[in-house]
A and B are shown apart, each in its own frame.
Chain A
């Protein structure tokens, strides 16, 4: 599916009727009637307030909602400018809802938004989640202004999060992306991004839209593609990120397949970039940093540890395809109840993640099985991490994560050696 095929004919006519727009803000949605009104209001206010001289457009890319989400986007009446304490804009903010074709998922929704941005000739584009409860008008400025005014191509979000929040980001995606590509993007799968029209066109030109990129793999794919494509990358401090409560119910195993599968697949695509990269450099951070109160989070450490132990009990035969025997022995030791509270030390964790990446690369096992089998390991790591940082404040947790990142960077030779050596397959009992 190429070109404008992802947009239905009716949507194409509507976009053609709009003419040009300088800034496009996209909101992917699927049954978000409860929250999307607030997101659209905040986005509208942000565009009116911070881009009064620009032609702007809000695009809702909807995946077939049945709860009236698109109607809310188009039918919402906006508060007058004087209530928002802002001057009257030169141009009205247009709003558009488009259904997209293709694989249902966030990535396909983004593709529809990029398509619209390209058609209207936007110089800047931002995307924000439709289930946000904490978005405010400043987010639009923080994500789009670095592109419009400072020449950035890609603006990743930087949130203030609870220390237990975003554990896949903290323990896998951030340290791995940083170690691989040498760029410190703290929230590479944050969900809210700004980008230049040039980069959006570059994204559109890639032949990835029939893969997991069309689903939840889109965030890490955009970040990695921007870094490896040599685009200018920055970060914007957005404060805290609060979602609608329905999201955590999504299947974690599927999420891992889509996100980790995309990360590992990108390692194959960009081997030439990461293989020669050592260390990492900070990424410019824009916006005023402030501490905010965050939602308390309940973590059932015992349940996670039990899942890890069940994994060790049942899946060692599967893991033999990916990990060294000595690593599996260490997992068995960690799972032993007499060993005290569950601890998965950094060096072991890094070896496991690198082992998974290499097993994925060498196809040592069916790739879906491989990633799904890592869920108990991840649960064990989260249980270990939560126990370890229980008494720490936000700064200490960041320092702790910095140490983990340095481990990832220091053990990169291990990754390279394993990546380039095809391991003999061992007999897997399961």
Chain B
């Protein structure tokens, strides 16, 4: 086999195809095995530096290519030959050397794409579970990303509409203000310290409390060869978001009884002690003694303090 013949070139092509799609590595290994007349071949990602030879198999000789992909992490491709076939000859070793250079490049690309892809998935997962609605727009105002809460807002059709073309509000005057804020953010200074950050309210057809919206420009990505140019970040807060009272979390975190947790949740929704007691259907005196227990267990002393504790810790944790 010469480095320029058809089989060589198509194997090189397959190697780089695997760089972009890691599920193709097995067929690359098959190709390497066939072309080098060796028996099994393997791709390993090692978490330490002990590349041991497989026991219990009849392979004896192997060529191995490893590359360091990071601290304490290396990957290798090994071609194995059985004892009967003997070692690789010098020509075969040269061929491997050339082919393995391509494997090395392909693994480096694969590691970079994979690492970024994995981090991406994790940060998206967290973003998705943020209780605030978060929408990212590109430099043309088109939606790049709308997190789970934002998609719920869209589905609720209560004044906020998110489509591929962008973010719009049902109320005409509010929408004009939003679009102006977005244009300002698109044209605004990209310097972090000088970010404008416009705020506005969005009236809701349902008559619930208006959404509060924060629009601000994002730091420009440093990559020019890209299909994604995030430019504007929008956060939408729903002050009326009471559907999910954090009763379960109050119980598990602070050890509140079900009754205490119900009361604390009502207070954090803005009720007074009296209206909370009435809503739950308990007497005022009972509510007072339950509140005393809640104060003790949450290490708070005043209702304002308690409400703040619940809103800033429990309600902010990812769903």
Q: Verify that A and B bind, or say they do not.
A: no
Binding site for A on B (CB under 8 A): none
